[in-house]
Amino acid sequence: MASYRYYGFSQLTSQQVDIGGSLPGNTLGQAAASAPRPQKPSYLVGGLTTTLTPNLTNDFRYSYLRNQWQWSTNGAPPQLPGLGGALEMGGESINALIPYNVDSQSTRSRQWDGHDTLLRDDLSLLHGNHLFQFGGSYQRNYDFFTRNDNGIGIDAALVYQMTNGTGIAFSGNNRPAGLPSTQNTTWDQLYAEALGMVSQTQALYTRTLPNLTLNPVGVPDIHPCHSAQYDVYFSDSWHIKPTFTLTYGLGYALDKPPYSPDGKQVMFLDEKGAPLSFDSFMASKKAAALQGGVYNPTVSFATIQNVPSKPHYPFDPFYGGLSPRVAAAWNPNFDSGILGSIFGHGKTVIRGGYARIYGRTQGIRMAGVPANGVGMGK
């Protein structure tokens, strides 16, 4: 058995809108959306089910998922020739009175290209009153992720923000006599906008390894990432009586930490240059606080290739992913009395159980979070 599915979808969002006719293909006075969101996932799956013996069946599955999506924008180019960067009136805002959006939330662009391969094998054995099921799976993901923002308020583009701020020293000499103090901030902002006073600039610079070389403005963060997942399980559905079935089992899951082949992962180090343990750090904080002291050691950041201990992963794998489960199903048979009127004869099933399940870490957490690491973006 094999099948293949392909899906293509693209929506033109209003995240970035041009009404000034400044971006290519647009007309002055006609609002045009400039932020398409294409998605092109595809899925290939194949399987083979085999009856090995009259009581033993094997089911093998292979699947390949291509998950590709993109946030596309025109970025934040200067509105006029000769400007060093885009002008943004009123500071970081989606409602700035300018021809097109240049705030980071409107101009940020991202791309995800995931290649996920899964191998899975399940066996079912019928033995007397027992149905044994056991098997496992292995999944290997390769995720290519790129972004041009830091996720908060800065993009890989130079933007001059014209508004009041710490970059301009306003005083009463700039304000008209009799202005209520509650309107000082509003006056300062309008004053800066009207005169084109820049209170701050913003630009995200990315770096290239191994020497953290500063890239030109506009170069996005690029983060490829590998991750592996392992699963094994065993369960038994025991038909103890015609009216009672007990199911129990045990699973084990192991999610390996993300691995970046180009070393674009940043680690938090202690004063000795060793990876900082969150548990020991917080324990020391607590101990110092209980004694009325302060624990504030010297810490640092380093890319994983520059950590003295040369770790393979940015954090240790979690090996405690044991998942027990137990459940029971009872089909009572009552022909009379109160119980008979409530449950009836073979008309009711009472179920109950307990299970512990460990969830998977999202792929965006594997590849996207390292893109926010200190040092790769400035």
Note the pLDDT of residue 238.
96
Task: List pLDDT tens digits, range 1-50.
Answer: 667 777 788 888 888 899 988 888 889 999 999 889 999 999 999 999 99
pLDDT at 265 over 80: yes
Q: In whole angstroms, how far apart are CA 277 and each of 12, 150, 307, 313, 317?
A: 45, 25, 14, 14, 14
pLDDT at 349 over 70: yes
Q: For 41-71+113-148+224-265+314-378, which CATH superfamily applies?
A: TonB-dependent receptor, beta-barrel domain (2.40.170.20)
Spans of all domains in the chain:
41-71+113-148+224-265+314-378
Residue bearing the bigger pLDDT, 61 or 185: 61
What is the C-alpha end-to-end distance of the chain, expressed in Å? Answer: 51
Note the pLDDT of residue 336.
77
Q: Do the beta carbons of residue 154 and residue 162 sit within 8 Å?
A: no
Q: Do the beta carbons of residue 53 and residue 67 sit within 8 Å?
A: no
307 band by pLDDT with thresholds 50, 70 and 90: confident
Rounded distance, CA 264 to CA 376, Å?
A: 7
Residue bearing the bigger pLDDT, 14 or 232: 232
Note the pLDDT of residue 372.
63
3-state secondary structure of 280: helix
The overall average pLDDT reported for the chain is 88
Query: Which residue in this structure is represented by tokens 């008309």?
Result: 347
Task: List pLDDT tens digits, range 138-156.
Answer: 999 999 988 888 777 788 8
Q: Do the beta carbons of residue 245 and residue 329 sit within 8 Å?
A: yes
Rounded distance, CA 44 to CA 61, Å?
A: 11
Task: List pLDDT tens digits, range 149-182.
Answer: 877 778 888 999 988 887 888 888 878 888 898 9
Window from 87-101, 209-223, 359-373 with minimum mean pLDDT: 359-373
Rounded distance, CA 253 to CA 358, Å?
A: 8
263 band by pLDDT with thresholds 50, 70 and 90: confident
Burial of 108 (0-12, 13-18, 19+ CB in 10 A): buried
Asked whether the whole model's pTM tops 0.75, one would answer: yes
Q: Do the beta carbons of residue 97 and residue 87 sit within 8 Å?
A: no
Query: Which residue in this structure is represented by tokens 């970046």?
Result: 260
Query: Which residue in this structure is represented by tokens 């093998």?
Result: 60
**How many residues are there in the chain?**
378
